[in-house]
Amino acid sequence: MKKYIISLTDQEREQLHRMLSAGKAASRKLTRARIMLKADRNGPAPEWTDEAISRALDVTPRTVANVRQTFVEEGWEVALSGHSTRNHRLRKIDGECEAHLIALLCQPAPRGHARWTLRLLADRLVKLEQVDLDSVSHETVRQTLRTNELKPWQQEEWCIPPDKNGEFVSRMEDVLDVYTQPDDSRYPRVCIDELTKQLVSETRVPLPLEPGHPRRYDYEYERHGTCNIYLIFAPFRGRRWVKVTDHRGYQDWAYLMRELVDVYFPEAECITVVVDNLNVHVAGALYETFEPAEAKRILSKLDLHYTPKHGSWLNMAEIELRVLNGQCLDRRMGTVRWVEREVTAWVAERNAAHATVDWRFTTADARIKLKRLYPVPQPDRVVPALTVHHTCAKLGATEAAARARQRAQKRTRAKHASYSLEK
């Protein structure tokens, strides 16, 4: 007479049949399910012997006996799935202690420290009497934080625009409208931006690659000042031009604008230029560099559109500058000529590939995703005539600049409309 008898209930038997018909469980689990069904004394079919089960399922008789014993002593679930391989030791940091740990990370670091470290957190938990001194280490803290979904130590750096600011949204929609205009050879659209590159050289010759050693270089370097890199990017044509200058000033900007008009786009009637709010990106730089007639000639072919403050990400040239910095400039370069040579090679490769930017952010998207930036319209109210005259008499430079920008936009749209009628 067998010592260990398997007697399945109707529910257990049905669940085993369902698992076998699905066939999605582990093979070891499916084998145990077949053993229990064939060894079931209460089943519709007669009970099989251990030898018959071992021959049918290609297992040893000892395996069948172990399943019988486990079923009787530890239950149906353990006989089917086996013992868990997880470590069942008590956690050194329980749920309450983990909550205190996350709360610590949400607070500023102690004085004299830029950030929380694992050892600081472990010591603070001991001081708060949340854990024992001998039961927690920095490695225990690391493993606890790794498995927690909250990551309060992570930080993101981004440009925060002002809330409900009419000036911001007006300039933003102005730039986005520029990106949606049709491409026209007589009215090209370009984005211009610049970056400063620090010129540094090696003080010792780096050691080359060797078997068992990577390339090694000395942390010490020699600084040779800085240079400025202007980038003119025509995203809708896949073209870009780069100019390296010794410094950045009014005259450098003015000469760049003259090259844009006379060299890069000599046949254009008007060039739409998207720039940021740097203090040298102004029309006055042309008059401070050239004669009035020459400055007027250059300015008449330019339609400047400024990105809003805290919104320079709207300039596609920033995206291209990031690619330039990551692919070409992220290394030590000691001379301006070296920078020019490398940048020229990078520009030739990018232009040959017709690399561009797939810009998809539109005004409609901005009004949905950046709704918080749009001011709430005020209800209509009657303004006394005296107040109107007083306001008009005190128009500032900002309002005058806005009106000049609107007039330039109207001229550009009129030119586009006339060109479309001619076609």
Output the pTM of the full model. 0.62
- Which pLDDT score is estimated for 46? 86
Return phi, psi of residue 340, to 5°.
Answer: -60, -45
Q: Determine the Cα–Cα distance for residues 17 and 23; give it in Å rounded to an integer.
A: 10
Summarize pLDDT for 188-200 with one digit per residue, the tens: 999 999 999 999 9
- Which pLDDT score is estimated for 386? 46
Q: In what order do the strands lie in the sheet with 271-275?
A: 239-245, 221-234, 189-202, 271-275, 302-306
Q: Which tops the pLDDT comparison, 338 or 415?
A: 338
Summarize pLDDT for 348-377 with one digit per residue, the tens: 999 999 999 999 999 999 999 999 899 988
- Which pLDDT score is estimated for 316? 95
> CB-side exposure of 133: number of CA atoms within 13 Å?
1
- Which pLDDT score is estimated for 414? 62
Mean pLDDT of 326-345: 93
Instruction: Give the least confident one: 132-136, 247-251, 269-273, 286-290.
Output: 132-136
What separation in angstroms does the CA of 87 have from each of 18, 83, 90, 91, 358? 31, 11, 9, 10, 50
Residue 419 has pLDDT above 50, yes or no: no
Please, what sign has the CA dihedral across residues 305, 247, 318, 323?
positive
- Which pLDDT score is estimated for 292? 94
- Which pLDDT score is estimated for 412? 62
Residue 1 has pLDDT above 60, yes or no: no
Q: Which residues contact 271 (CB under 8 A, 6 or more apart)?
A: 187, 188, 189, 190, 260, 261, 265, 301, 302, 303
Residue 89 has pLDDT above 60, yes or no: no
Instruction: Give the least confident one: 73-87, 367-381, 386-400, 408-422.
Output: 386-400
Q: Which tops the pLDDT comparison, 300 or 98?
A: 300
Query: Which pLDDT band holds residue 423 (cuts at 50, 70, 90)?
Result: very low
User: Residue 407, SS3?
Assistant: helix
Tokens representing 104 are 């610590």
Summarize pLDDT for 370-405 with one digit per residue, the tens: 998 999 887 766 555 544 444 444 445 455 555 666
Tokens 């202007």 correspond to 230
Residue 284 has pLDDT above 90, yes or no: yes
Query: Which pLDDT band holds residue 133 (cuts at 50, 70, 90)?
Result: low
Mean residue pLDDT across the chain: 85
Residue 85 has pLDDT above 60, yes or no: no
